[in-house]
Amino acid sequence: MYSKIIIRYGEIGVKSRDTRRKFESILRNNIKLALKRYNIKGNVKILHRRVLLELDCDNLDRAISILKKVPGVVSFSPSVECSLDMEEIEKTAMEVFLRKVKEVGERTVTFRVKTQRVKKNFSLTSVEINRYIGESILKNFQKNKPEDITLKVDLKNPQITLGIEIIDRVYIFTEVFRGVGGLPVNSQGNVLVLLSDGIDSPVAGFLMMKRGCGTVFLHLKISDEGLEKVKRIYEVLRDYDPTSKLIIFDYKEVLQSIRKSLEEIGKEKYTCIICKRIMLKIAQEYARRFNCEGITTGDSIGQVASQTLRNIYVISEGISYPIFRPLIGLDKVEIMDIAKKIGTYNISTSRDIKCFAVSKHPVTRGKIEEVRELEKYVLNRIGTIKPYLHL
């Protein structure tokens, strides 16, 4: 038997007709790819202001968890489909309703009917349909009275809300699942995301995905343990966009050279600043190659001593690509909440990996001229980073 899931989007709906069509088609494609990643066969159709997923009943639960992670999906409902014929709607509504009453399993059940005419092609108004189907349920339920259950209408806070959506056909449901919201991935340009094994950068990457960006993740590897965590984090993030990429750049020796060069001249307290400047330069190189239109970082303000506005300035100076910092206005608890919700928090916190190069007393107010000089010195000492990377 086949299941149908009716899928709702949000912001796409306020776009011009052409943009909406384009975005609908991207969303449809993303849903297909997400299902394919878990080997689930399904048919995805674009309806009027809705997307419809048809799939084998056995795969329903898995499809639900997958759809919860597709950016652009605001909500969705497994539904029973019928024609616009009022008698058929009545019959189907009763069927769907009885199934849910059984599930609730209580003696007194409160309910309401909530109709939406997504396409205004129906003779009755939503309110008229609500009343008609509500009365029909009350009447026919009384006739059978399964197991002496008492039925009451409650418009405010019912146990069961029977949803009816009228498009070219009719979709009837009792569940509404929330999606991620936002825009479909790849409806906007690409961004390069600097990805570490910590809590912040995966959240930053997710937020850019949610806004429709394609993502190229770049991990600057300094340890095998860190890489292991990053790979697990990336697998979680891929649920939100199976087309995203991960690039590993072996950064350990570079960082060792940075630290050593600065130590020799007694400037090790500049290690973090110079390291991050060089990271951004490498990121910019990859952004160029992978056709990205910005660099995303997990920067926030005031979390640690070196995360000052001044240091953000000194670190990002000289980068011509825009730097997106989606966490800049968020509290640490808010960032952690998102990390938990998207499923990266437990991986990020599973094992604390300290950077070997961090100096005890990092500079909090770096001076731009001195930093430029130090970077020049360090880059000269290192020579070219990888044969193909001329920074």
Please state the residue numbers annotated as binding site for ATP.
194-195, 276, 298, 307
Interacting positions 19-58 with a copy of itself (CB under 8 A): 19
Stretch that binds a copy of itself, among 85-93, 238-246, 274-282, 302-310 (CB under 8 A): 302-310
Structure tokens at 255: 């960082």
231-to-28, 84, 277, 286 alpha-carbon distances in Å:
27, 49, 24, 19
Nearer to a copy of itself, 42 or 179 (CB): 179
Least distance in angstroms from the C-beta of 131 to a copy of itself: 30
Least distance in angstroms from the C-beta of 313 to a copy of itself: 5
Burial of 359 (C-beta count, 10 Å sphere; 0-12/13-18/19+)? middle
Instruction: Give dist(CA 61, CA 286) in Å, integer.
Output: 39
Work out whether 389 is an interface residue with a copy of itself (CB under 8 A).
no
Amino acid at 55: L
Residues whose CB falls within 8 Å of the CB of residue 350, separated by 6 or more in sequence, listed in order: 229
Nearer to a copy of itself, 22 or 91 (CB): 22
Least distance in angstroms from the C-beta of 357 to a copy of itself: 21
Work out whether 321 is an interface residue with a copy of itself (CB under 8 A).
yes
Stretch that binds a copy of itself, among 51-59, 78-86, 178-186, 218-226 (CB under 8 A): 178-186
Work out whether 116 is an interface residue with a copy of itself (CB under 8 A).
no
Burial of 146 (C-beta count, 10 Å sphere; 0-12/13-18/19+)? exposed
Least distance in angstroms from the C-beta of 322 to a copy of itself: 5
Nearer to a copy of itself, 118 or 328 (CB): 328
Least distance in angstroms from the C-beta of 34 to a copy of itself: 19
Least distance in angstroms from the C-beta of 181 to a copy of itself: 5
Work out whether 367 is an interface residue with a copy of itself (CB under 8 A).
no
Amino acid at 85: D
Instruction: Give dist(CA 244, CA 43) in Å, integer.
Output: 23
Instruction: Give dist(CA 182, CA 205) in Å, integer.
Output: 14
Task: Identify the residue among 305, 346, 351, 356 touching a copy of itself (CB under 8 A).
Answer: 305
Work out whether 310 is an interface residue with a copy of itself (CB under 8 A).
yes
Interacting positions 181-210 with a copy of itself (CB under 8 A): 181-183, 187-191, 204, 207-208, 210
Interacting positions 211-250 with a copy of itself (CB under 8 A): 211-213
Q: Site residues (CB under 8 A) for a copy of itself? A: 10-11, 16, 19, 181-183, 187-191, 204, 207-208, 210-213, 293-294, 300-302, 305, 308-310, 312-313, 316-317, 320-333
